[in-house]
Chains A and B, each alone.
Chain A
């Protein structure tokens, strides 16, 4: 078997972008890396390889290695033998990039989506976070740090259920 050597066409790049974008986040599998805004770009590099650009949600996000491997694997299975995944930090990821579809999927999954837009600068403020179980806005923060870097731990005062909240950054 010889790998395909022709340079990907614009149609190929579109197909590759859709394939890469559909890779699920390993820690929040209802979200794709497209929903999250982790997938930044898919291009063809000068040597004819496909270049996929991703950005981490947090500096230490341990999911990046798994995402890179999954992107390479899905593209190789679909006729793109030569794939480079490049990780960039700028511009810095923000929850504002999460798609509306992603926010709905998060809530259906039981994770309260990020609230509003955090103003520029680290201002301590708490916006109402709705309980993803019962919809009540009477909730409280138990801990600003949760099961993964991107989540905080909250509890609903109405139904008493604890839940994860995707932090706005």
Chain B
């Protein structure tokens, strides 16, 4: 028998994916009562709820390695300990910005979960297999809005294009495996079949996005800068405000429960 090889812990990987879902769930929740239609309030609340469910499973799993609960991780970490990509923390802005983000993120997440459902890590595989059908609905929803706005009136088209311009600097980070802040995910996790190499998701995810943009008469932007560092805890100025709102109740009333 071969000696048991010490696998790199999947905790940090699960945490990063969970933070993506948690932070975008918070942004979706911010739309409730402010979306363009009542049905959209309901839709974004449901999308946020799906993401929050995924976050709970992933944070619970990450916490198991360190004896911490999902609530500890969501409410009691500092900004530098959050490992989400900067795309999800970007402020909601115009509705078109949020839909541009949802199209890109759900396209990425769908490809990620499809592959992760075959992970050698049974927990990650289970969370991904559960979530893949949910995310397919998210992508359909974003697609419908991008088509409707992009191929709509001159005003809706202009604003949808502006939404893409606001989001595109953050696209690259989804698929990056290294930046000046460090590498991600741990190469050992990818080699062991636990984690998915994010660079392998770029072509399938972006070819879908491009097909939607083409049909919506929109132009893919070429950003002059790209965000990086979220996976190492480096965030934009929007993140602190988001966490203040997300965490303040729990921190103000330690131990409170429903």
| B42 interface residue per 8 A CB criterion | yes
Across the interface, B53 reaches (CB within 8 A) one of A61, A93, A122, A124, namely: A61
Measured between beta carbons, the chain B residues less than 8 angstroms from A46 are none
Q: Which of A4-12, A37-45, A109-117, A145-153 contacts the other chain? A: A145-153
Pair B50/A89 contact, Cβ less than 8 Å: no
Nearest chain A CB to B240 CB, angstrom units: 26
Measured between beta carbons, the chain A residues less than 8 angstroms from B51 are 60
Pair B39/A58 contact, Cβ less than 8 Å: no
Q: How large is the interface on A (under 10, 10 to 19, 20 to 34, 35 or more residues)?
A: 20 to 34
Pair B49/A62 contact, Cβ less than 8 Å: yes
Measured between beta carbons, the chain B residues less than 8 angstroms from A56 are 53, 130
Pair A124/B140 contact, Cβ less than 8 Å: yes
Nearest chain B CB to A30 CB, angstrom units: 22
Pair B49/A149 contact, Cβ less than 8 Å: yes
Pair A145/B110 contact, Cβ less than 8 Å: no
Measured between beta carbons, the chain B residues less than 8 angstroms from A153 are 39, 42
Between A and B, how many residue pairs show CB distances below 8 Å? 79
Pair B43/A91 contact, Cβ less than 8 Å: no
Nearest chain A CB to B53 CB, angstrom units: 3
Q: Which residue of B is nearest A94, CB measured? A: B133
**Bound-complex Cα distance A92 to B117 (A):** 11
Pair B47/A59 contact, Cβ less than 8 Å: no
Q: Which residue of A is nearest B40, CB measured? A: A143
Task: Show 7 A/B contacts (Cβ-Cβ < 8 Å), sorted by A.
Answer: A58-B49, A58-B50, A59-B57, A60-B51, A60-B54, A142-B39, A144-B137
Nearest chain A CB to B33 CB, angstrom units: 16
Nearest chain B CB to A111 CB, angstrom units: 16
Pair A145/B131 contact, Cβ less than 8 Å: no
